[in-house]
Chains A and B, each alone.
Chain A
Amino acid sequence: MARLKLVPFLQAAPLTLILVVFLLLPMGALIVVSFFDYDSVQIIPAFEFTNYTDALGSAVTWDTYLNTIRYTVIVWAVTTVLGFTVAYVLAFEIRSRTTQMVLFLICTVPFLTSNIIRMISWIPFLGREGLLNSTLIKLGLIHQPLEFLLFSDFAVVLAYTHLYTLFMVTPIFNSMMRIDRRLLEAALDGGAGWWRTLTSVIIPLSKSGIAIGSIFVVTMVMGDFITVRLMSGGQSASVGLMISNQISSLQYPAACANAVVLLAVVLLMIAAILRIVDIRKEL
C-alpha cells in the first residue's frame, strides 16, 4: 500500500522538477537581480531599490504602461466580441457535427503556425503600395496611399487581433458546447426572442470561457514585445519592448525590476478577472 501511495508523486515528479528549475528558480533569479546595481560594463550584487525607484519614478515608464494597457483594453474588447461571435456561429448556427468540427479546426490551426510569419504576411496587404491602398486608389476612394495602415497603432491592434482571437474562440466554443440545448428551447417556449436568449442564457453560461480567453489575451498582450516592434516599425512602446531594449543594452537589473513590476501588474489583472468570474468549474 505504501508503494501505491508513492506512485502519484513519482508520476508528478518530472513536471514538478521542470517547473521548479525552469520557472520558479528563474523567477527567483529575476527578483534577486532586480535589486542589484549595475554600471556600463557589469552587474554588481547589491540590495538596493534604485532600479524600482528609477523605473517607477520615470514618466517614460508610466507612459509605456499606459500605452500597453491601452493596447490590452482595445485588443481585449475586439477579440472578445469577434471571438464570441465566431464561437456562437460555430456552436449554434452550424448544425452538422462534422462541418462544425472541420470549421473549428480551420479556425484554430493558425495557432500552430509561426506568429512572426503571420505578422510579416500583413506587409504586402497594408504597405504604402500594398493591396489595400492600391485597391482603394483604383476605386477612386482615395488619392494618396493611407499612411496609417502599416507601422502604426492600427497595424499593431490588427496583428494582435489576427494572432489572439483564436484564444477567445476556443474556450468560448468549449463553454457553449456544454450548454444544454433544452435551455434554449425552454427560453424560446417561454417567449424569449433571439436577443433575450443570447443575453439571458448564452452569455451568462459562456462567462467562464470568456474569462479563460480574457486571461490568455490580457497576459499575451501585456507581455508582448515582438508584435509592437514589427508592426509599429519602432514607433510605439510597450512594457515588453522596454524590457527587451534594456536587455539589449545589458541593463539587466533595470530589466529585472521592470519585469517584476510587469509580473505584479499581470497577476493583479488576472486576479481581477477571477474575482468577477469563477472558472474553476471549467477545469
Chain B
Amino acid sequence: MAAAKLRRFVLLGVLGLFILFLYGPTLTILVLSFQGPDGGLTFPMNGFSLHWFHRLFETQAVGDFGGSLTRSFLLATMVMAATVVVSLAAGMAFRRRFRGSGALFTLTVASLIIPSILVSLGVGLLFNALGLDPDWYSSAFGAQLTWTLPFGLLIMFAVFNRFNRSWEEAARDQGATPWQSFRHVVLPIIAPSVIGIALFGFTLSYDEFARTLLTAGSDNTLPLEIFGMTTSVTTPVLYALGTLTTLFSFVVILGSLVIVRLLAARRAM
C-alpha cells in the first residue's frame, strides 16, 4: 500500500511539473515585460513599469504592430467563419457514404501531415504561376484553411460518432424538413462542438507562421512581425508583445469556454 501511495505521489508530481514546464516560461516573460525602462532581457527586474507596452504602440519602435494585428485579426475571423461552415457541411456529408468519400478523407488527413513549409511554398508557386499576387486575404487565407479544416472535420467526426440519430428521426416523423431538423435539432445539440471548431479556426490562424510565411505577400501578419522582431529587437518590447498576444489568446479561449457553459446551462433548463 505504501508503494501505491508513493507511486501516486510521484505521478501527480510529474503532472504538476509538466504544467509548470508548460506555463513557467510564459509566466517569466509576462513578469519581464513589466521591466523598468533600463531593464534587460533577463532578470533581475530593473524597476517596474509599463514602459515597454508604451513602446510597442509607437510605430517607430517596432515594425507595423497595429497594421499586422488588424490583418491577423481579420484573417483569423475569416478563417474561423470558413472553417465552421465548411467543416460543418463536410461533417454532415460524411455521415453517409458517398462516392469519393474515402479519397476526400485521405486528402484531408494528408492536409494535416504535409509539412507546413511545403504548403506555403506550393501555394506561393501556384499563385506565381497563375500570375496572381499573393496576399494575406487570398493565398494565406487558403493556405491556413489547409491546416484548420482537418481539425474541424476531425472534431465533427468525433461529434457524429456519438450522435443519437433517433432525435432526427423523431423530428422527421413529426414532419420536419431536412433543413428544419438540422436547424432545430442537430445544430442545437452539436453547438458546443461548433464553438470548439470556431475556437480552433480562430486561434490556429491567429498564431500560424509557416503556412503564412510565403503566402502573405507584402503585408505581414502578426506572427510574421513577431518573427522579424526576434532577430532585430533586443529589448523587453518583445516580451510586452508576447504578453499581449498570449493574453489575447487566453481571452478568446476563456470566452469560448464561457459560451459553451452557457449553451450547456440553457440546454439543462
A243 and B117 CA atoms in complex are apart in Å by 8
A161 and B26 CA atoms in complex are apart in Å by 15
Q: Mark A101-145, 1 if CB is under 8 A from B, else 0.
A: 001011101101111111011111101011100100000000000
Evaluate whether A15 and B245 lie within 8 angstroms (CB atoms) in the complex, with A89-B12, A90-B15, A114-B223 already known.
no
B108 an interface residue at 8 Å Cβ cutoff? Answer: yes
Q: Mark B141-158, 1 if CB is under 8 A from A, else 0.
A: 011011001000100010
Closest A residue to B107 by CB, please name it: A19
Evaluate whether A259 and B118 lie within 8 angstroms (CB atoms) in the complex, with A29-B125, A86-B14 already known.
yes
Of the stretches B60-68, B91-99, B164-172, B186-194, the one at the interface is B91-99
Closest A residue to B202 by CB, please name it: A112
Q: Mark B65-86, 1 if CB is under 8 A from A, else 0.
A: 0000000000000000010011
Evaluate whether A12 and B121 lie within 8 angstroms (CB atoms) in the complex, with A19-B149, A23-B107, A121-B26 already known.
no
A24 and B119 CA atoms in complex are apart in Å by 9
Instruction: Name A2-45 residues within 8 Å CB distance of B.
Output: 7-12, 14-16, 18-19, 21-27, 29-30, 33
Q: Which residues of B contact A16 (CB under 8 A)?
A: 100, 104, 107
When the two chains form their complex, are residues B90 and A15 in contact, meaning their CB atoms are under 8 A apart?
yes
A270 and B257 CA atoms in complex are apart in Å by 34
When the two chains form their complex, are residues B115 and A89 in contact, meaning their CB atoms are under 8 A apart?
no
A162 and B145 CA atoms in complex are apart in Å by 25
The 8 Å CB contact of B126, one of A8, A26, A110, A219, is A26
Instruction: Name A204-257 residues within 8 Å CB distance of B.
Output: 215-216, 219-220, 222-226, 230, 240, 243-244, 247, 252, 255-256
When the two chains form their complex, are residues A86 and B15 in contact, meaning their CB atoms are under 8 A apart?
yes
A118 and B23 CA atoms in complex are apart in Å by 9
A40 and B2 CA atoms in complex are apart in Å by 71
Of listed A10, A103, A124, A252, residue having the most chain B CB within 10 A: A124
A129 and B32 CA atoms in complex are apart in Å by 14
A266 an interface residue at 8 Å Cβ cutoff? Answer: yes
Main SS of the interface on chain B? helix
The 8 Å CB contact of A131, one of B19, B28, B230, is B28
Closest B residue to A234 by CB, please name it: B231
B46 an interface residue at 8 Å Cβ cutoff? Answer: no
When the two chains form their complex, are residues A255 and B121 in contact, meaning their CB atoms are under 8 A apart?
yes
Evaluate whether A18 and B125 lie within 8 angstroms (CB atoms) in the complex, with A11-B92, A112-B249, A116-B227 already known.
no
Q: Which residues of A contact B238 (CB under 8 A)?
A: 120
Q: Which residues of B contact A103 (CB under 8 A)?
A: 15, 19
Q: Closest approach, in angstroms, between the C-beta of B255 and any C-beta of chain A?
A: 12
A263 an interface residue at 8 Å Cβ cutoff? Answer: yes
Q: Closest approach, in angstroms, between the C-beta of B74 and any C-beta of chain A?
A: 17
When the two chains form their complex, are residues A259 and B203 in contact, meaning their CB atoms are under 8 A apart?
no
A22 and B18 CA atoms in complex are apart in Å by 37
Identify 23 residue pairs between A and B in the complex whose beta-carbon atoms are under 8 Å apart, listed by A's number.
A7-B178, A9-B99, A15-B89, A15-B104, A16-B104, A18-B86, A19-B104, A22-B119, A22-B145, A22-B146, A89-B14, A93-B15, A106-B19, A107-B18, A117-B226, A117-B246, A125-B25, A127-B41, A194-B7, A222-B115, A226-B227, A244-B117, A263-B115
Please list the 3 inter-chain residue pairs (A to B) with the smallest Cβ-Cβ separation, ordered nearest first.
A223-B115, A26-B122, A11-B93
